Amino acid sequence: MRIEDTDQNRYVEGAEQYILDCLKWAGLEPDESPVHGGAFGPYRQSERKAMYRQYAEQLVNDGYAYYAFDTPEDLEKMRETHKSADNPSPQYDHHVRMKMRNSLNLTADETKALLDAGTRHVIRIKMPQGETIGFTDMIRGYIEFETSLVDDKVLLKADGMPTYHLANVCDDFIMQITHVIRGEEWLPSAPLHVLLYRYLGWEQEMPSFAHLPLLLKPDGNGKLSKRDGDRLGFPVFPLQWTDPKSGEISSGYRESGYIPEAFINMLALLGWNPGTEQEIFSMDQLIGAFSLERVGKSGSKFSPEKAKWFNHQYIQNKTDEELAQLFTQELTARNINADLALVTRITSLIKERITFTHELWAQSSYFFEAPETYDTKSVKDRWKADSAEKIKEISQVINQCAVWTAEEIKQKIMDFINEKQYHTGQIMNALRVVIVGAAMGADLCTIIEIIGKDETLKRIESGISKLG
């Protein structure tokens, strides 16, 4: 992991640690990084600053780059002067370079005097005219660019820091990087990078390039942005992120209840397919199956519902004990001390109903707390004029149960209902309302068994008192 922090204007406090935390949560621990060390450090580009000037100066000396002393006012004037209907955004390229204040247009003595005086300047690449630059992209095949259409990009900024173009080419060569895999928006910069490898004498060691398709908004209309998630109701960030300047909070997959393995599985299938119907992959399976050849060229539409589907699948594949361990943490935070074996049993009863771990409480709170209020719709639909009287009778049946198991409790209740010729659904629905507080939950007699006789009778009494 290399921290590309050469643009100091875009530096964000805490971002580096956030990236490390995200990778760790996702199970993608780097072998080399600013924290882990490695043979090719330092791993922050800001700590490699002196090296980049050396290579930029080499390019100038070899005639492949030049010093540019243009002020912001000079650049603005150039854009205004050369703006036209056919060219609304003029570039600093071979059309204008000889009209600007740079070492191509100044004498050697004038250039030296400006450098000796410490005049602010940048170093720009001198893009050749009339050449065709080609390379093979691992996803898109052979691609060609005309150099006359590419501007003279800045390689070294006025503050002495390199731009992405110079820094990454130098670091990828020095760190022996074999593959550069990045978004398709970097395709227009590829010819510049190919030329830099050539001009620096590293063309034989140039890495393979693969330009990935963009992730698109759920409606497929445009690139997915960090603001789309919270606007449309799904996370984009791996972990919750608070902008240190604005205080704006972006929701995270972890905090939204996603399991890391599901998150990785979902990401892997955005723009890539294994060529089979298989959708659930472990990390080892992904490593074995993945190939760039099966990455598509067109953008991949992000589906929040598919992301939820992946998480549901991984929730179901977890053992009851694993989910119980997660649930116990939340119960402890709620000051509820429950036996792990009991929590495991409860988890097994509600597991199929949940998509996210944070739903465990919503689906099982009635096991740990008596209802304080009763769902209005459930009461309206299920609590009849004679429900109180009949539920009182059921409470006596429950109180007389000598063997406290769900099966025995159910048998006693059903025997009583049949004897009285009551409507089974009506009785059981009303009983569920006073025990749970709503028309939801696991098997009712199993709930009664788990909460115990005293708690069951207490809830029935309270429900009858409140519902009348």
CATH number at residue 79: 3.90.800.10
User: 306 and 330: one domain?
Assistant: no
The position carrying tokens 């060529």 is 275
Distance CA 442, CA 455 (A): 17
pLDDT of residue 146: 95
Instruction: Provide the domain limits for residue 259.
Output: 226-315
Asked whether the predicted pLDDT for residue 89 surpasses 90, the reply is: no
User: 271 and 386: one domain?
Assistant: no
| pLDDT, averaged across the chain | 95
pLDDT tens readout for residues 407-463: 999 999 999 999 999 999 999 999 999 999 999 999 999 999 999 999 999 999 999
CB atoms within 10 A of CB 131: 13
Strand bridging mode 179-183 / 208-212: parallel
Tokens found for residue 25: 């949560």
Do the domain assignments include residue 309? yes
Do the domain assignments include residue 33? no
Amino acid at 129: Q
Tokens found for residue 147: 């150099």
Q: What value does the mean pLDDT take over residues 100-109?
A: 97
Would you place residue 84 in the very low, low, confident or very high pLDDT band (cuts 50, 70, 90)? confident
Nearest-10 Cα torsion for 49, 52, 53, 59: -170
Do the domain assignments include residue 139? yes
Strand bridging mode 208-212 / 249-250: unpaired
What's the structural domain count of the chain?
Answer: 4
Q: Which residues are known to be catalytic?
A: 226
User: 146 and 253: one domain?
Assistant: no
% of the chain with per-residue pLDDT over 90: 93
pLDDT of residue 294: 94
User: 89 and 197: one domain?
Assistant: yes
pLDDT of residue 9: 84
Question: E strands, 60-139, where?
Answer: 65-68, 122-125, 132-137
% of the chain with per-residue pLDDT over 70: 100
User: 64 and 205: one domain?
Assistant: yes
Which residue from 233, 218, 308 is spatially nearest to 263, judged by alpha carbons?
308
Q: What value does the mean pLDDT take over residues 74-97?
A: 89
Asked whether the predicted pLDDT for residue 281 surpasses 80, the reply is: yes
pLDDT tens readout for residues 288-315: 999 999 999 999 999 999 999 999 999 9
User: 254 and 333: one domain?
Assistant: no
User: 203 and 68: one domain?
Assistant: yes
pLDDT of residue 103: 98
Do the domain assignments include residue 146? yes
Do the domain assignments include residue 36? no
User: 204 and 59: one domain?
Assistant: yes
User: 355 and 239: one domain?
Assistant: no
Do the domain assignments include residue 219? no
CB atoms within 10 A of CB 190: 20
Q: Using a CB cutoff of 8 Å and minimum separation of 24, what contacts does 269-273 make? A: 270/215, 270/300, 270/302, 271/212, 271/213, 271/215, 271/295, 271/296, 271/299, 271/300, 272/296
pLDDT of residue 363: 96
Asked whether the predicted pLDDT for residue 86 surpasses 80, the reply is: no
Distance CA 432, CA 254 (A): 34
Q: Which of 2-16, 223-237, 379-393 ranks highest by mean pLDDT?
A: 379-393
Do residues 261 and 27 make contact, with C-beta atoms less than 8 angstroms apart? yes
Would you place residue 47 in the very low, low, confident or very high pLDDT band (cuts 50, 70, 90)? very high
User: 80 and 155: one domain?
Assistant: yes
pLDDT tens readout for residues 312-357: 999 999 999 999 999 999 999 999 999 999 999 999 999 999 999 8
Would you place residue 231 in the very low, low, confident or very high pLDDT band (cuts 50, 70, 90)? confident
Tokens found for residue 388: 């109180």
Asked whether the predicted pLDDT for residue 468 surpasses 90, the reply is: no
Q: Quick one: how far is CA 426 from the chain centroid?
A: 47
Which residue from 238, 214, 239, 211 is spatially nearest to 225, judged by alpha carbons?
214
pLDDT of residue 21: 97
Amino acid at 367: F
Asked whether the predicted pLDDT for residue 88 surpasses 90, the reply is: no
Q: Higher-confidence residue: 229 or 254?
A: 254
Distance CA 366, CA 104 (A): 79
User: 327 and 305: one domain?
Assistant: no
User: 185 and 67: one domain?
Assistant: yes
pLDDT of residue 220: 80
Do residues 268 and 281 make contact, with C-beta atoms less than 8 angstroms apart? yes
Q: How many residues does the chain have?
A: 468
Asked whether the predicted pLDDT for residue 229 surpasses 80, the reply is: yes
Amino acid at 18: Y
Identify whether 42 is preceded by a cis peptide bond (ω within 30 of 0): yes
Question: What are the Cα distances from residue 413, in Å, to 176, 268, 378, 389?
Answer: 74, 52, 21, 15
Mean pLDDT check: name the lowest of 82-96, 161-175, 240-254, 317-331: 82-96
Mean pLDDT check: name the lowest of 48-62, 95-109, 124-138, 226-240: 226-240
Q: Write the CATH number for 388.
A: 1.10.10.350
Q: Write the CATH number for 289.
A: 1.10.1160.10
Would you place residue 121 in the very low, low, confident or very high pLDDT band (cuts 50, 70, 90)? very high
Do the domain assignments include residue 177? yes
pLDDT of residue 83: 86
